[in-house]
Amino acid sequence: MHPRTAAPQPHPARGRIDEVAVAATTQTGDQGLTLGRTAALLAGLPRTVPGFAIDRMCAGAMTAVTTTASGIGFGAYDVVIAGGVEHMGNHPMGSGADPNPRFMSERLVDPAALNMGNTAENLHDRFPAITKARTDAYAVASQDKLEAAYAKGQIQPDLVPVATLKPGHGWTVNSVDEPPRPGTTFEDLAALRTPFRAHGRVTAGNAAGLNDGATAAVLASSEAAAELGLPVKMRLVSYAYAGVEPEVMGIGPVPATEKALKNAGLSIEDIGLFEVNEAFAVQVLSFLDHFGIPDDDPRVNRYGGAIAVGHPLASSGVRLMNQLARQFEEDPSVRYGITTMCIGLGMGATVIWENPHHSKYTDYSGTVAAVVHEANSVATTEGAAA
């Protein structure tokens, strides 16, 4: 006989969750019905736990984090769950979109700006120094860095295996990210077509892939984290959102970062690690050029980025945070890092974090909320080219 195995006991934090915020860009079907509340019920949380949904396109999960973290700082919450999902296999980007007719009739927004690939080509026009050769080289480096991170086991600890049902394939368990293309070469990318413009510069190879994915994080006040024994991975220092011309939405991380740095009383020189969402290589390079950061700076996207791992829209913000938290643990010499991303319709988002492993980290009890990452990225599935 095999000895009886005791059932795992729920973490004491489970009974202390005050809110569940889950983002999705397409809030219909399995991503509808006030997704945060739906997720709380499906997860078996006490029915007293409320929830809500958020839509800020690509920055959905990031907005879920900053919104609920603000509630913690205000004293309304002690422990929350925040994240995002995008089932792009069922809800393709832009599917069923019905923009306000004034967008077109009054030319409030160039119709081309509703296609993110077009906005990336516009960035190339605005910054001619960012050539296709540079973006392809950056994309190859992203694939290489992700491959190296997988080989070192730096990605796997933050993945949660999920069961998925694929037509014609039955049920399977996804335990790794599917989109990466290890071994991609510069020559491979140079041969790809440019679907958004004849003789353009944006391709499926130097843009993020479209795939399914979900992420979640546990956030807590410093007092609650200490009381419940939650491992503090990062502290939220500052955040900012900014609007830009929709036609060049990829430049959004620049003003958002400038605002977040100003709010925190920091400069770009204080930032030791950058997690920049790679919607398009040109968008990342425009950010780096603005701040005088080399294309191959080792502080930037150490594990690669969305060009390699994919960008399931509203879920990606927490993936950036998980990867930064892991890097903080590996590199205590870094005190501050940022997660930043561009957002459709012309916006940018940036969050500044502090590393609790740094020698100058202080006990912030009674002041700013601590962020605890416990429920992490779900392996993305059904990868497809942009």
Instruction: Please list the active-site residues.
Output: 58, 311, 342
Angle at 266 between CA 313 and CA 71, to 5 degrees: 55
- 259, burial (CB in 10 Å: exposed 0-12, middle 13-18, buried 19+): middle
Q: What's the farthest any 2 CA atoms get from each other in the chain? A: 76
How many Å apart are CA 87 and CA 382, to the nearest integer?
9
Secondary structure element (H or E) that encloses residue 134, with its range: helix 132-151
Residue with tokens 């050539």: 131
Question: What is the CB neighbour count within 10 angstroms for residue 171?
Answer: 8
Residues 313 and 57: beta-carbon distance below 8 Å:
yes
Residue with tokens 């997860």: 43
Residue 179 CA: distances (Å) to CA of 143, 205, 222, 225:
10, 11, 36, 35
Structure tokens given for 131: 């050539």
Secondary structure element (H or E) that encloses residue 261, with its range: helix 253-264
Region of residue 256 (phi > 0: left; psi between -120 and 50: alpha; otherwise: beta): alpha
Structure tokens given for 19: 């809110």
C-alpha torsion sign, points 111, 33, 314, 219: positive
How many Å apart are CA 17 and CA 220, to the nearest integer?
9
Q: Which of 166, 145, 162 is nearest to 154 (CA)?
A: 145
